[in-house]
Amino acid sequence: MMNADQVKELAEVAKDAALLHGVLMRTQETPMSSELVSYAPFTLFPTPVPKAVFHQALAVQTFYNTLVDKISQDSEFLQEALASTIAVDDFTARLFKIHQMILKEGKSQDIVLGLNRSDYMLDQGGDGTSSLKQIEINTIAASFGGLSSRTPDVHRLVLTVAGRKEESQQILDNNPAAGLARGIAKAWELYGAPRAVVMFLVEESQRNIFDHRFVENELWKRGMRTIRKRFDHVSKTGFLDKEKRLFVDGQEVAVVYFRNGYMPQNYISEQAWDARLLMERSLAVKCPDINTHLAGTKKVQQVLAKPGVLERFLPDHPEAVQQIRATFAGLYTLDMGAEGDKNIAMALATPDRFVLKPQREGGGNNIYGTEICQVLEAVKESSERTAYILMDKIQPTPQQNYLLRRDAPLKISDCLSELGVFGTYVRQGTHMVMNECVGHLLRTKSSEHQDGGVAAGVAVLDNPLLI
Ligand code: ADP
Ligand code: MG
Ligand code: MG
């Protein structure tokens, strides 16, 4: 056991190691410049994760890639699955409208690039075992592939300094940044215009720019050029030529990599929506395209859990169906009708067993505990309830750790972790050119917080220590 002074000293070592290795974030005060930066929040120690479930999560990733890609190609399914949602959720409805316009006009690009992250928690069983349960899959702007490529060295150093050299050697190498960049590079190559650029579609505030930069670095090493533009840049300077090639600031764009555009607040004006439509119509490869964006909604996740739906997408792959389904937690519709009524009654009776989720991304949007009852009581008689899905709450075993965060006191906390797995795929027409699992991410939060998210200021970066 370490005493308080030793922990404090180790935390100083850890923070400096994070700075040395590039586990960085711009500060809240100066999100627009790199003149002042700090370490990205992270745990002092890595977190034990059972080997078997870790490998299970890696092994299922290429199946998830295939599944998302198949869903994205099934417009009938998307329409059916999202019908009740778009009737009441304006944001999803707007995305869906773009999807329908593109469907009518015909897609101009048959190269598809998917960079996703499937997130899991380990549900504790009564017998001391834990099972891998998917929280969600992110098909747009899945972050921390860059910084998580650098955190292993930080924890290796911390364990070494703490006299745990042997364990330090068990921290896995991880390089999602390289794997994400490989996918982008492949799509760029297939696009076939050596002078065309990769455009990172970014937000106004760029606190997490270093996470992007690791991916950009990998592209630069290959001699590719990148530009960083916001929706307003695209609406001011963007246009399509006769062949529907996208030009922004006078440069042809081969790949649009969305690191923005996943929440309503990202579309500050009608022009932002017009810019999204312009990009979707273009010949540029979109990561994600509008279909793949919709395939990552929580409503689609809930529909996938219904009997027979996975089989629709993977009819010849029973082992893929079985492995994917094994990661599903209980997911319940709140659609109008007897089944939805029954599910609402169940949630009202035992709210602590569930999480209520709207169709939102970015952390901090879900509803828990007694608030579930308040919300459901207010919406249960109206179609408004179909904006949500209900999910079993996963109960991981808490682990003690120190969360290192700027301006926060150093104290031991009961923590819960969430494991993310990065997937990259590229398809051209009917041919899957690339389909890989490219790395992992462990995020840890204090168990006082129900919801997560590093960007939301709750979770911090971590590493699994396989046991
Ligand atoms: P978002 O797209 O906003 O990240 P998530 O579904 O990942 O939405 O939920 C945000 C956070 O809420 C997760 O990181 C996790 O901490 C918590 N959470 C979500 N679903 C569950 C669940 N079924 N059980 C326990 N915690 C959950
Ligand atoms: Mg998400
Ligand atoms: Mg999430």
* Cα gap 315→301, rounded to integer Å: 18
Q: How far apart, in Å, do the first and last CA atoms of the chain sit?
A: 20
Q: Show the CA angle centred on residue 310, arms to residues 306 and 315, nearest 5°.
A: 140
| Domain boundary assignment for the chain | 4-329+394-466
Phi, psi of 65 (to 5 degrees): -55, -50
ipTM of the complex: 1.00
Q: Which ligand 1 atom lies nearest to the CA of residue 135? A: 20
pLDDT at 352: 98
Nearest of 416, 444, 433, 461 to residue 143 by alpha carbon: 461
Q: Is 135 in the pocket of ligand 1 (CB under 6 A)?
A: yes
Q: What is the pLDDT of residue 125?
A: 85
Instruction: Supply the pTM of this predicted model.
Output: 0.98
Could you list the residues known to form a binding site for substrate, using ranges.
117, 140-143, 206-208, 259-262, 443, 454-455
How many residues are listed for the chain in this entry?
A: 467
Kindly state if the Cβ of 420 falls inside 6 Å of ligand 1.
no
Contact by Cβ (8 Å): 461, 144: yes
Residue 394 near ligand 1, beta carbon < 6 Å:
yes
Pocket test for ligand 1, best of 355, 393, 441, 446 (most atoms within 8 A of CB): 355
Bond before 288 cis per omega within 30 degrees: yes
**Binding region for ATP:** 136, 298, 357-366, 368, 391-394, 418, 445, 451
Ligand 1 atom closest to Cα of 451?
12
What DSSP string describes 265-316? GG--SHHHHHHHHHHHHSSSEEES-HHHHHHTSHHHHHHHTSTTHHHHH-TT
pLDDT tens digits for range 201-255? 999 989 999 999 999 999 999 999 999 999 999 999 999 999 999 999 999 999 9
Is residue 298 annotated as a catalytic residue, yes or no? Answer: yes
pLDDT digits (tens, 9 = 90+) for 92-144: 999 999 999 999 999 989 999 999 999 999 999 888 889 999 999 999 999 99
pLDDT at position 456 over 90: no
User: Do residues 225 and 197 make contact, with C-beta atoms less than 8 angstroms apart?
Assistant: yes
357 touches 298 (CB < 8 A): yes
DSSP 182: H
> Rounded distance, CA 452 to CA 461, Å?
11
Distance CA 421, CA 63 (A): 12
How high is the pLDDT of residue 208? 96
pLDDT, position 275: 98
Tokens 């329908």 found at: 100
Q: What is the pLDDT of residue 171?
A: 97
DSSP state of 319: H
Name which residue sits closest to atom 19 of ligand 1, judged by CA: 135
Instruction: For ligand 1, say whether the CB of 142 is within 6 Å of any of its atoms.
Output: no
Number of the ligand 1 atom closest to the C-alpha atom of 416: 16
